[in-house]
Amino acid sequence: MSNFSRHRFSALADLAADEKAALAKLAGEPVFFYRNQVLRHEGDACPGLFVLFKGWVGSSIRLGDGNRQFLKVHMPGDVLGAPSLPLTHAADTLVALTDAKVGPVDLNELSAIFARFPRLGILFFLAAQEERIVLMDRLVSVGRLSANQRLATLLIHFHERLVAIDPRTGPEFELPLSQEQIGDIVSLTAVSVNRALRSLQHEGYIHRRGKIIDMADIIGLRNLASLPARHLQRNPSWLPRHSSLKDAPQG
């Protein structure tokens, strides 16, 4: 759970030692899933909550014609299944896009943490709003941008998330999604994704070696995407301060 508390909550606010300890104990023993193995099916009762320790996991919804629409890609440190918590049955299917390790979350323990550490409850809320901004940008991308721009936006998003997980991440990363899955996320056919990837490579924005993507011109990709840069507000003035942090410098 340390990755989650570090790169998701610590990006929003300083955390006290007891808050970090509570987060670290939130998820149970990790369960291993092979690539393409389903963690949880859409429609399952008592959806539950999970923390992703390792690997990539995709969220998808089944369509009336039997096809699936991929909606989101989860990376290490993400909480899985939160959108289904208000529902009696899971809204989406979670499938391992790579080999993955996932820890189940005891919802009673989560409730106890919110009662004991209200600041963490607020940070969960803020993290959900961050996800909402990502979806807003995705809607703009799908509705208004070209195929090359959509793909540039997605690659920048993936790379930024990987850097947040590990600041030592360089310009290269492995993209384990199929072109069909990428197309689902950005509303393109697999053929259009392939064409856009080749175009971005030809223009020098990226280099590809199999599933390895080299972000050769990140500034150029940002300019091509044409979406505004988003900057998190860290330690907002209205956020209650933990007693042990009252005298700590603001981030």
pLDDT digits (tens, 9 = 90+) for 140-153: 888 889 999 999 99
Q: Which helix (H) or strand (E) holds 2?
A: helix 2-4
How do beta strands 93-96 and 57-62 pair?
Answer: antiparallel
For the entire predicted model, the pTM comes to 0.88
Q: What is the mean pLDDT of residues 119-147?
A: 90
Quote the CA–CA distance of 49 and 65 in Å, as a whole number.
Answer: 28
pLDDT at 136 over 70: yes
Q: What is the pLDDT of residues 21-39, one digit of tens each?
A: 888 888 888 999 999 999 9
Same fold flag, 2-129 and 145-225: no
Q: Which residue has the tokens 């924005």?
A: 205
Could you tell me the residue ranges of all domains in the chain? 2-129, 145-225
Q: What is the mean pLDDT of residues 188-217?
A: 96
Q: Which residue has the tokens 């920048």?
A: 156
Split at pLDDT 50, 70, 90, the class of 1 is very low
- The architecture of the domain spanning 145-225 is Orthogonal Bundle (1.10)
Computed from CA positions of residues 36, 41, 42, 47, in that sequence, does the dihedral angle turn out positive or negative? negative
Q: What is the pLDDT of residues 216-241, one digit of tens each?
A: 999 999 999 888 888 889 999 999 88
Q: What is the pLDDT of residues 67-104, one digit of tens each?
A: 888 889 999 989 999 999 999 999 999 999 999 999 99
Quote the CA–CA distance of 192 and 201 in Å, as a whole number.
Answer: 14
How do beta strands 57-62 and 68-74 pair?
Answer: antiparallel
pLDDT at 2 over 60: no
HSE value, Cβ hemisphere, 13 Å, CA-based, for 179: 12
Quote the CA–CA distance of 130 and 232 in Å, as a whole number.
Answer: 8
pLDDT at 212 over 80: yes
Residue 248: the pLDDT is 53
Q: Which residue has the tokens 């690997």?
A: 55
CB 34 within 8 A of CB 56: no
Fold of 2-129: Jelly Rolls (2.60.120)
pLDDT at 5 over 80: no
Q: What is the mean pLDDT of residues 234-249?
A: 78
Instruction: Characterize 6-35 residue by residue with b for buried, 16 or more Cβ atoms within 10 angstroms of its Cβ, and e for exposed.
Output: bbbbbebbbbbeebbebbeebbeebeebee
